[in-house]
Structure 1
Amino acid sequence: MEDIQRRLLQKSKKARLEQIGKTVSFICILFIVVVVAAIFYFVMSKGLATFVKDGVNFFDFLFGTEWSPGTVGADGKPLTGALPMIVGSFLVTLLSAIVATPFAIGAAVFMTEISPKIGKKILQPVIELLVGIPSVVYGFVGLTVVVPVVRRTFGGSGFGILAGTFVLFVMILPTVTSMTVDALTAVPRHYREASLALGATRWQTTYKVVLRAAIPGILTAVVFGMARAFGEALAIQMVIGNAAIMPASLITPASTLTSILTMGIGNTIMGTLENNVLWSLAMLLLLMSLFFNILIRIIGKKGEFKS
């Protein structure tokens, strides 16, 4: 009888602890949801004020090519065209992803399929080190090394999309590589064994079986790297030139959403058109971040291995 009572007491204590744990977890999740919702509300309310309060046409803002919010154009409307920054952001993001993807896949294949021991002992620590380097260090290296090299090799001032591409390439390479390694490692072992048993070479197995099976994971890594590149501010601001004009070429000064936002947000008064239009740029960044996250989830769900 005493044993039964003791067991019941133990079960009741475990039940209470489990209930407390569930309550704490729920409160933490609710707090995170409230914080995210508050951020969305704040940024969206400030960003939409440009169109609701200040009367700026949304399409003029999105497709206009002249950026000078404190200046009124010939038509009597403020020059709030954000297209140069949007184009600059997408150019550096896409180009850096295109350059980084082959290097990331090659490093991941070497680490998982060719020489896992050397990969874990040498490449893995290097990748982890690159991830932990602050953005300002990448920007300083780009300013002192990349920009002069671009200037001597291609001409111009050295500042522009090309310099920003090289800097972002180095910044997103560790992220894309580590996630690609995870994608290749997640490929079931019997895929490789079945391919080798059918007489395929190791390279044929890697190229036609492992890489193809890991395509959703690799795409997720690339999109995740693009999201990181799209939201980068300090490093790209130091090497792109920060000229709010349509980029004439890859070696002429340009700008991105983040570079113009970080340069101007501290020099404007809250509630003015100059301030609200910068919050509209932040709203675009937030929406693009949401788009990248949704895309990652869609690719991840399609890439789940089924037993």
Structure 2
Amino acid sequence: MENTRSKINENIMQGVFFMSALASVLAVVAISLFLFLRGIPAIAEIGFMDFIFNEKWGPVNTPASYGILSMIVGSIYVTAGAIAIGVPIGLMCAIFLAEFCPGSVYKLVKPAVNLLAGIPSIIYGFFGMQVVVPFVRDNIGGNGYSILSASVILGIMILPTVISISESSIRAVPGSYAEGSLGLGATKEETVFKVVVPAAKSGVLTSIILGIGRAVGETMAVVMVAGNAVMPLEKIKLLKPIRTLTTNIVTEMSYASGLHESSLIATGVVLFVFIIILNTSLSLIKSKSARN
């Protein structure tokens, strides 16, 4: 009787787990179908080359133009800036927390890192408008609303992802690696940077890729500090305003209709494909690490 009841409970839980997994898969399929069924026809009507490689965006102009190249470049610039700022700081912080941080300090720093992950993006945007933008304007140049300001804010926003995953990966390295290195006469710093961190490279790369995904998909904070201006490619500079793919969607979707609305959804398709590429890269990194 007890075995029968246990078997029934096991089957019920298996069904619950299966339905949970199925719901996740169906959600991804539904989102994918919506994007591609609404976005691909717009790309076909506009023309793939004209949509991706044309830098002129003017849906209300006569004739209308739907080129997103400048926004693709803007997204790449802002994301690259966020990586240049956030990854080194995040990796160094993760190494400190995992290898050098005293217990009393860890109790303060770790909750602060976790708190960064819970701050709404709108708060980061306010911080950028009130602190970063004036600082850039007064000390570096331009009007403050620029690629640099957006990169700084995004660099701060990806810190929790980079720090948490990198720290976990570093802590997961077997202790025998460090013991062997120290036994051969290496210093603590040499052991950490030449043995432990390279051994955790899969997790570190994972944190970077996930951080890139966060930076690429961020909207609200970027629209508040980047200036939200569509710039010709020759005028895209570090201290100039910029519009990214995400900010373009959120700025114009409220009043768009017809082909204009479809072109914004098609912009979402481009973002979605980029995220798929990131996730595929993450899977390849993990599979390669598992083989090694």
TM-score bin, normalised by smaller chain: over 0.9
Specify every segment of 5 or more residues in structure 1 that has no aligned partner in the other structure, as ranges. 1-8
Q: Output one character per residue of 1:270-307: Cα deviation in whole Å (capped at 9) or x when no partner.
A: xx01100000111111111111112122222323497x
Matches within 5 A, 1:23-38: 23-38=15-30
Aligned position for 2:55: 65
The Cα of 1:120 is off from its aligned counterpart by 2.6
1:257 is the counterpart of 2:245: yes
Match of 1:275 among 261, 275, 290: 261
Contact 1:217 1:303 in 2 (8 A): no
Letter aligned with residue 295 of structure 1: S
Aligned position for 1:266: 254
Aligned position for 1:221: 207
Letter aligned with residue 29 of structure 2: A
- SS at 2:231's partner residue? coil
Aligned position for 2:154: 168
Aligned position for 1:14: 6
Distance 1:120 1:148 in 2: 33
Letter aligned with residue 166 of structure 1: V
Aligned-residue sequence identity (percent) comes to 36
Aligned position for 2:273: 287
Matches within 5 A, 1:154-165: 154-165=140-151
1:179 is the counterpart of 2:179: no
Q: Output one character per residue of 1:63-92: Cα deviation in whole Å (capped at 9) or x when no partner.
A: 10100122234xxxx311101110111111
Letter aligned with residue 11 of structure 2: Q
Distance 1:149 1:218 in 2: 31
Matches within 5 A, 1:69-84: 69-73=59-63, 78-84=64-70
Distance 1:80 1:133 in 2: 35
1:45 is the counterpart of 2:37: yes
Distance 1:35 1:267 in 2: 27
Q: Output one character per residue of 1:85-116: Cα deviation in whole Å (capped at 9) or x when no partner.
A: 10111111111111111111111111111125
Letter aligned with residue 62 of structure 2: V
Distance 1:210 1:32 in 2: 35
Specify every segment of 5 or more residues in structure 2 that has no aligned partner in the other structure, as ranges. none
Contact 1:111 1:120 in 2 (8 A): yes
Q: Normalized against structure 1, the TM-score is what?
A: 0.91
Distance 2:39 2:33 in 1: 10
Match of 1:56 among 46, 50, 54: 46
- SS at 2:253's partner residue? helix
- SS at 2:59's partner residue? strand
Contact 1:110 1:119 in 2 (8 A): no
Contact 1:69 1:277 in 2 (8 A): no
Letter aligned with residue 56 of structure 2: E
Match of 2:220 among 225, 230, 234: 234
The Cα of 1:154 is off from its aligned counterpart by 2.1
Matches within 5 A, 1:169-208: 169-208=155-194
Distance 2:19 2:160 in 1: 34
Sort the Cα spacing of 1:116 and 1:181 in 2 relative to 1 into closer, same or farther, 3 A. Answer: farther
Distance 1:196 1:160 in 2: 47
Letter aligned with residue 27 of structure 2: V
Q: Which stretch of the first structure deviates more once superposed, 204-213 or 22-31?
A: 22-31
The root-mean-square deviation of aligned C-alpha atoms, in Å, is: 1.4
